[in-house]
Each structure stands twice: as structure tokens, then as C-alpha cells.
């Protein structure tokens, strides 16, 4: 949801945002027209209601001769008020529908589509030169099967394509990642939470996920509930319809949950292994902050993601995502992409988005300052997820099919240094 008053007074930044996203620029003018119609009809309703009150009060003071005409006028006004209210309500509903179609106003994101990102920097050292080391790297699934830690064949047998089992050290490696993320979040003042993975349409829609990509979400019609693809959704809904106290600083949470995505638009993409799957685990940061502090909080979340990537010793790059590749609620998004040796490409492992006041307006999350309430800003960021195992296995493999455990994860695995192949 956007600030209609600001859009009405200065529409050009909103047109520019839509243009940068490759979205419908004319939507701005349709919103302005709908807002004008709503305000005109609301003013008409209020004028008629004021006249109705005046006429109703005059009935008792009228003479017997005047009273029939006044009563007739009162009846006429009552019908007019009812009709005017219906028109004003319909105009408000039409405006609300249009306003909910508008994506968040971008803040600093480069214009363009999926390929128009800007690389901000490379970190974690140069990717390994496997040719210089004298062997061809195996992909994560071949490694996982050789180590007996990933089983996609039985996952497909039980649940269908894009499902899997993590076994033994595989399951423990994922748990080590998640626990390391938990420790990192707590050290930075985040409150850890396990979150619901089923939410109402109001919460799912309020976070902006029921737009163009709603076909990616699992829906349970018998219960009218959605399965979440990130705990961001449940954390955004946690303070819905509340007034927060941010005088002591932001409210920060880390959600630990299983996530579900249909991957309906990913046919033929990364079908091998566990890169694009229907079910995975994720540690997600979420912050409620004052709007003027949102940009600084965004940098803070990105820095925490990079701390985790350093912990697992991965080469990665940081990109500034282009406007046309942003989700509807994000004003700006930074991704960290780890190097994937066998595909010789960068693979997204973290995202952090500044959603400014967009989600808070839709979910009525406010703060009170100087005697007035106003929307807060919300931000989110990935701190660990199952997909990281893909990059860890491929980047830390040895010629004999074993995988070296990054030093930062060893304390969570009983000091284990090497995951050995199973003969």
C-alpha cells in the first residue's frame, strides 16, 4: 500500500518507479482519478448527511402546517444519504483495489529487468581452480549421494519431483547451518522465533505475496490458508493491527521455519539436486524500524548475511537487484550469490529487502510519535537456508569425493572436519 496523499501531491516519482520496474505507468493516473472520485462522492455524502441532521432537528420546532413538508424532505434526504453512502463506499473499494495493485516505490534500485543488476563487490577470495588442482569437480548431488547424505530418488518416490531426504551428516549439516544462524542472530539482538507456516489470506496479501507470483504459493482451499514460502510472512503479520513502541530502537526477530514453494515458473530450471525444491528450511531476519532508519537497517542485515557467508568460507558476490526483478513489496534488494563450480555461475544464497512502509500500511502496523500514529518500515533478510549446502559441498570437496567442513561449522558438528564417502 502506498501513501495516497504523497502520490496525489507528487505523482512523478511513482510514475518513474513504475517505469523502472517495467510496470504499468498509467496505473498512477488511474489511482489519482479514483481518489478524486472517492473524495468527491465522500464530500457529497457528508453534505447530504449534514443537511439531513439539520432537517431532522427542525421537525420538533416546525409548526403543524410546516411539518409535512419537512418530514417529506427528511425522507427524501434519508434515501439520498443512503445512496450517497453506497456510492462513496463503492468508490473507496475501487480505489483500494487499484492501490493494492501498485508495487512499492523503489529507492535507489537500478532500472531494468532480471539481467540489469549491478555487481557491488566480490568477497570470499577467488573461486578454486579445480583444473590447477588436477581434478574435475563433482556436482552437489553426486557428492551428496557418494557421502550418503542426500537422497532425491526416494524423495521423488514418496512425494514427487523436487523433494528429497537429508540423511546422517547431511541432516546435521543443515541443522549446523541453521543453529549457527540462530547464534549469529541472537548475538546481534534478534529474538528467535519458530513461526506458523500456514497463514490467512489477509496476512499473505498484506505482505505483498498475492500479486504476480501468487501461483508460486501453495493454497489450502478447505481451510482458506496459505503455506508460507518464507517466515517473513508470519513475522510481518506478527504485529498486524498494532501500535508499536520503537523509542528504544527497532524490533528484530529471526524466524526459523520450513518453507514451501510450488516453483511453478521454474520448469526445467535446476531440476537436478536440491537447488530448486518445494520444501526447505530457512532462518529469516525481520525488523520493524522507523522509516528514517530503514536504509541503515538494510545495510546491517546485509552485513550479517556476509558474516554467515564468511563463516562457511564461500566465495560470493553482492548485487544490487534491478527494479524489474524486485518483489512487489521491496523498494530495494541486495542479493549475495555464491560461486557454483560445476555450473560456473553465481547462485543466489541470500536476499535482503527494504520494504519501507509498504507492508506496514497494508497490515496496519504503526508507531505513535508526537501524539500521532504513522506506519513503520519493515525489512527482511536470509541468514541461512538449505540451498547453502549446494555451495558448501561443491566448494569444499576433495579429489576423493569427501567434503571438508568449514571451520565455522565444526563446533556444531562435534568437531567433524571431513565428511567421508560411504563405501
- Catalytic site positions: 261, 276, 348, 351, 387
For residues 101 and 330, give the distance between their C-alpha atoms in angstroms, rounded to a whole number: 14
C-alpha closest to that of 282 among 258, 310, 252: 258
Please list the alpha-helical segments (H only) found in 160-314: 168-187, 201-206, 232-238, 294-311
231 labelled as ligand-binding?
yes
Cell of 93: 473499494
Q: Is 118 helix (H, G, I), strand (E, B) or coil?
A: strand
152 appears as a binding residue in the annotation: no
> Per the annotation, does 213 bind a ligand?
no
Which of 90, 97, 99, 74 lies closest to 40, judged by CA?
Answer: 90
Of 386, 367, 387, 369, which is closest to residue 378 (Cα–Cα)? Answer: 367
Find out whether 337 is annotated in a ligand binding site. Answer: no
Asked if 98 and 27 count as a contact pair (C-beta separation under 8 A), the reply is yes
Dist CA 229 CA 203 (whole Å): 13
* 329: its cell numbers: 513489496
Could you give the CA distance from residue 115 to residue 17 in angstroms, rounded to a whole number? Answer: 18
Q: Is 280 one of the annotated binding-site residues?
A: yes
Instruction: Report whether 58 belongs to an annotated binding site.
Output: no
348 among annotated binding-site residues: yes
Is 279 annotated to bind a ligand? Reply is yes
Take residue 332 and report the three cell numbers written for it. Answer: 530495494
The response to whether 297 counts as a known ligand-binding position is: no
Does residue 351 have a known ligand-binding role? yes
Inter-CA distances, 250 with 94, 183, 329, 395, 407, Å:
35, 19, 19, 36, 32
Residues 345 and 343: their CA atoms lie apart, in Å, by: 5
Known binder of ligand: residue 284? yes
Q: How far apart are CA 272 and CA 13, in angstroms?
A: 43
Tell me whether residue 242 is annotated as binding. no
Is 382 marked within a binding site?
yes
| Residue ranges with strand state E in 261-376 | 279-289, 316-320, 332-340, 345-354, 366-369, 372-375
Q: In terms of Cα–Cα distance, which of 280, 276, 191, 277 is closest to 238?
A: 191
d(C-alpha 226, C-alpha 204), whole Å: 7
Q: Would you say 54 is a known binding-site residue?
A: no
User: Dmax of the chain from CA atoms?
Assistant: 110
Indicate the length of the chain as a whole number: 423
> Which residues sit in the known binding site?
230-232, 261-263, 277-280, 284, 348-351, 380, 382
> Which residues sit in the known binding site for ATP?
261-263, 277-280, 348-351
> Which residues sit in the known binding site for L-serine?
230-232, 261, 284, 380, 382
Amino acid at each position: 500500500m502506498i501513501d495516497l496523499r504523497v502520490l496525489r501531491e507528487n505523482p512523478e516519482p511513482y510514475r518513474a518507479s513504475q517505469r523502472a520496474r517495467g510496470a504499468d505507468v498509467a496505473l498512477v493516473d488511474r489511482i489519482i482519478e479514483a481518489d478524486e472520485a472517492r473524495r468527491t462522492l465522500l464530500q457529497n455524502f457528508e453534505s447530504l448527511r449534514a443537511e439531513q441532521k439539520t432537517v431532522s432537528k427542525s421537525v420538533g420546532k416546525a409548526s403543524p402546517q410546516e411539518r409535512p413538508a419537512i418530514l417529506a424532505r427528511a425522507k427524501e434526504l434519508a434515501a439520498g444519504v443512503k445512496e450517497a453512502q453506497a456510492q462513496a463506499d463503492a468508490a473507496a473499494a475501487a480505489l483500494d483495489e487499484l492501490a493494492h495493485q501498485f508495487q512499492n516505490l523503489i529507492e535507489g534500485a537500478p532500472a531494468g529487468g532480471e539481467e540489469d543488476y549491478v555487481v557491488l563487490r566480490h568477497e570470499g577470495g577467488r573461486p578454486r581452480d579445480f583444473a590447477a588442482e588436477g581434478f574435475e569437480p563433482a556436482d552437489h548431488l553426486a557428492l551428496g549421494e557418494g557421502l550418503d547424505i542426500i537422497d532425491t530418488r526416494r524423495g521423488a518416490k514418496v512425494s514427487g519431483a523436487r523433494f528429497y531426504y537429508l540423511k546422517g551428516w547431511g541432516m546435521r549439516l543443515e541443522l549446523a547451518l541453521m543453529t549457527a544462524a540462530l547464534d549469529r542472530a541472537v548475538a546481534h539482538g534478534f529474538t528467535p522465533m519458530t513461526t506458523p507456516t500456514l497463514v490467512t489470506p489477509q496476512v499473505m496479501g498484506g505482505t505483498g505475496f498475492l500479486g504476480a507470483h501468487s501461483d508460486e504459493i501453495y493454497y489450502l482451499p478447505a481451510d482458506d490458508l496459505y503455506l508460507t514460502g518464507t517466515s517473513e510472512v508470519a513475522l510481518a503479520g506478527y504485529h498486524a493491527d498494532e501500535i508499536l513502541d520503537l523509542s528504544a530502537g527497532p524490533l528484530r526477530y529471526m524466524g526459523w521455519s520450513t518453507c514451501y514453494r510450488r516453483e511453478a515458473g521454474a520448469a526445467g530450471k535446476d531440476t537436478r539436486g536440491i537447488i530448486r525444491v518445494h520444501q526447505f528450511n530457512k532462518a529469516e531476519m525481520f525488523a520493524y524500524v522507523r522509516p528514517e532508519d530503514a536504509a541503515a537497517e538494510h545495510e546491517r542485515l546485509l552485513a550479517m548475511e556476509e558474516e554467515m557467508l564468511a563463516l562457511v568460507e564461500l566465495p560470493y558476490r553482492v548485487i544490487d537487484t534491478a527494479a524489474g526483478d524486485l518483489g512487489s513489496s521491496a523498494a530495494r534488494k541486495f542479493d549475495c550469490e555464491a560461486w557454483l563450480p560445476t555450473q560456473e555461475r553465481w547462485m543466489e544464497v541470500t536476499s535482503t529487502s527494504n520494504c519501507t512502509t509498504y507492508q506496514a500500511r497494508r497490515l496496519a502496523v504503526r508507531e505513535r510519535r508526537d501524539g500521532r500514529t504513522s506506519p513503520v518500515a519493515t525489512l527482511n533478510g536470509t541468514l541461512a537456508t538449505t540451498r547453502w549446502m549446494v555451495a558448501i559441498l561443491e566448494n569444499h570437496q576433495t579429489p576423493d569425493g569427501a567434503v571438508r567442513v568449514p571451520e565455522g561449522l565444526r563446533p556444531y558438528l562435534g568437531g567433524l572436519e571431513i565428511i567421508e564417502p560411504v563405501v
